[in-house]
Amino acid sequence: GAVVSQHPSRVICKSGTSVKIECRSLDFQATTMFWYRQFPKQSLMLMATSNEGSKATYEQGVEKDKFLINHASLTLSTLTVTSAHPEDSSFYICSAWTGAGPNYGYTFGSGTRLTVV
Amino acid sequence: KQEVTQIPAALSVPEGENLVLNCSFTDSAIYNLQWFRQDPGKGLTSLLLIQSSQREQTSGRLNASLDKSSGRSTLYIAASQPGDSATYLCAVQTGANNLFFGTGTRLTVIP
């Protein structure tokens, strides 16, 4: 079935550094991927929509210069948290729309736990 | 703006019991509704997707219903098992790329 692979699963970084998170569609092509953030005991909040070959679309309140998204191929989208601060510590999850077929629907990656110290 | 609510926020049941999780949404103009399971610190696993034209979907011990006109969906879990313990999220799709999530129901099945 449709699988979205997300790496790393956990990352700890120092304040001020940048962290890159990768999201890959393993057995299908994803022209559009989505990046969510989830704070403890809260639901998922959409941060941005990543479009292959074009600029990402950011939700209101999400800083595009801080959360850089690159979708250079049909199977890979990356989220880079630049100049990370402790308040950026969160659980980041990507997803892709799998389109028609038996796996119709949204498929999610396994998430990345980011801790900024 | 679409708002999705899940009740209850948390639920504990003894093993073997049947249970129902509820999801309500404010805007009935949806493309589909999807139920997910999330284990602690993990991503989301899709359980069932109901198209707007459908009324229910079944997979094993799970049955999801959709009443679009009233803005409600239920997830029925039969013969619950400790392995069913997780947070269950419902999400409605209202546009090409618009997916709105509920806050989830945290289920604990007690052996």
Say whether pLDDT at B81 is over 90: yes
What contacts B56, CB < 8 A, 6 or more positions away? B50, B63, B64, B65, B66
Structural tokens at position B51 = 């198209």
Report the C-alpha gap between A5 and A22 in whole angstroms. Answer: 8
- Give the model's pLDDT for residue A53: 85
Report the C-alpha gap between A80 and A97 in whole angstroms. Answer: 21
Amino acid at A4: V
The length of chain B in residues reads 111
Say whether pLDDT at B96 is over 70: no
- Give the model's pLDDT for residue A100: 60
Handedness of CA A52, A55, A57, A58 (dihedral sign): positive
Please report residues of B whose CB lies closer than 8 A to that of A34: 97, 99
The residue-averaged pLDDT of B71-94 equals 96
- Give the model's pLDDT for residue B28: 92
Q: Is B81 on the interface with A (CB under 8 A)?
A: no
Q: Which residues pair with A7 in a beta bridge?
A: A22
Report the C-alpha gap between A24 and B20 in whole angstroms. Answer: 34
- Which segments of chain A have a pLDDT < 70? 100-104
Rounded (10°) CA dihedral A95, A67, A72, A33: 20
Residues 10-39 of chain B with CB under 8 A from chain A are 32, 34, 36
Q: Is A58 on the interface with B (CB under 8 A)?
A: no
What integer best gives the mean pLDDT of chain B?
94
Kindly report the backbone phi and psi dihedral angles of residue B82, in degrees, each rounded to the nearest multiple of 5, phi listed first. -55, -30
- Give the model's pLDDT for residue A101: 59
Please report residues of B whose CB lies closer than 8 A to that of A93: 43-44
For residue range A67-88, what is the model confidence (pLDDT) as tens digits? Answer: 999 998 999 999 999 999 999 9
- Nearest-CA distance from A114 to chain B in Å? 11
pLDDT-derived band at B89 (thresholds 50, 70, 90) equals very high
For residue range B3-42, what is the model confidence (pLDDT) as tens digits? Answer: 999 999 999 999 999 999 999 999 999 999 999 999 988 8
Cβ burial of A35 (10 Å; 0-12, 13-18, 19+) is buried
- Give the model's pLDDT for residue A40: 84
- Give the model's pLDDT for residue A110: 93
